[in-house]
Structure 1
Amino acid sequence: MVVLVDKRSNRLPAIIEVRHSRTRVRDLPDPATVGSSWIQNKIAQRYPWLKGMGDKKSGEDTWLSEGSVIWVDDQEASPLTFVATFPPTQEQPQPQRQAAVTTAPVVIPDLLLAMVCIGSDDQIYWAHRLQG
């Protein structure tokens, strides 16, 4: 799993896309996809420096899960290219959404890039900070 966190807001980017080098093979799943999972909360608990990838409490009994990570299921996916979009700050954002969205402008020192190794049984093996 590849994780990109905006350290200013401690959130995942609103939009992230990934491309891989493997030619699409019929009946085989993509080796790299974008999405989210319950295990992100477990990772955030185990590695406090990755708390930005977990759900955020937005009310007494309400949790927000916004943003995605890159799931890499096959080493044949390398090299990967990904892009994250940070929308510009709006003039008057909705109060409940303002804190939940990462916004532009962003510079490289604002970003944390990490890799997390997860087994097929959802076992978290390790996490490594690549940048930030």
Structure 2
Amino acid sequence: MRRRRRIQAGLTVLVLVLGTSGFAGWRWWHNRAPYGPEVLALTATLELVDNEGAAAALGAEPAPHADVGDQLVLGRVSWRPPAELRRGATFWIVVLDKRTQLKPTVFGLASPRQDAVSMGSHGYLQKAADRYPWLRGIAGQEVDGVWTTSGTSIHVTTPDATPVTFVGIFPDARRQPAEPLIATAPVAVSDLLVAFVYMGPDGQLYWAHRLLG
């Protein structure tokens, strides 16, 4: 009887060990990036443009309009579509003013897959801020004890949406609150950071890559 109990206890421990190792293996696979940024051969450019330049760059897509004191920044991010795809994974293109860690609020967007690009934000992006200190403004900021996100990033849902052309507007700081929640003008290209973030289908952060700034 005692021998049988010892065998049963041993089998229970073995099952627990196998279950724990199996979960650890699944978790490792689940959070492992299928490829790194080097596979995508990422490139990015930024320049200041006027209203005419913004409209020309976006073609048939609507462009934000700059009034006196506002500034428009034209950017392009391109990559090589990967051979290996993970269903439900997405890219984020992030623009931050390094001086304030604030994001622009409005973008005009153009892509060969227009249906796959949009403006937005998500709480999952806080994982990027936690892992990469230079992205600490990506998910918003705390104001009077309340967490808020006023700026936006660019969400890309398919890897063949390359290149993405965008025009961000930076409104005149004189027309904003004393402590604005969005990136404002005057701004120089050298003030801006552009990053590319790769996230899994369950919001797991694979990696973030700094492209400019």
The normalised TM-score by structure 2 is 0.54
Counterpart mapping for 1:23-34 below 5 A: 30-34=115-119
Asked whether 1:117 is paired with 2:198, we answer yes
Equivalent positions of 1:55-70 (< 5 A) are 55-59=140-144, 61-70=145-154
Q: For residue 129 of structure 2, give the secondary structure of its aligned residue in structure 1.
A: helix
Q: 1:46-57 maps to which residues of 2 (within 5 A)?
A: 46-57=131-142
1:99 to 180, 184, 187: 180
Deviation at 1:68, TM superposition (A): 0.8
Query: Partners of 1:5 and 1:126 in 2: how far apart?
Result: 17
Note the 1:5-16 alignment, pairs <5 A. 5-16=96-107
Structure number with the higher helix fraction is: 2
Query: After superposition, what is the alpha-carbon deviation per residue over 1:68-118, rounded to whole angstroms, capped at 9, x for unaligned?
Result: 111111122111100110001226x434xx232211121111000000110
1:75 maps to what in 2? 159
Counterpart contact for 2:141–2:147, Cα < 8 Å? yes
Match of 2:55 in 1: none
Kept in 2: contact 1:9–1:99 (CA 8 A): no
When the two structures are aligned, how many residues end up with a matched partner? 122
The runs of 4+ residues in structure 1 deviating greater than 3 Å are: none
Q: Note the alpha carbon deviations across 1:46-81, whole angstroms, 9 max, x for none.
A: 11110011221111x312211111111112211110
**Structure 1-normalised TM-score?**
0.84
Structure whose residues are more often strand by fraction: 1
Unaligned runs of 5+ in 1: 25-29
The corresponding residue for 1:27 is none
Larger of the two Rg values belongs to structure: 2
> How far, CA to CA, are the matches of 1:71 and 1:102 in structure 2?
18
Residue 45, structure 1, aligned to residue 130, structure 2: yes
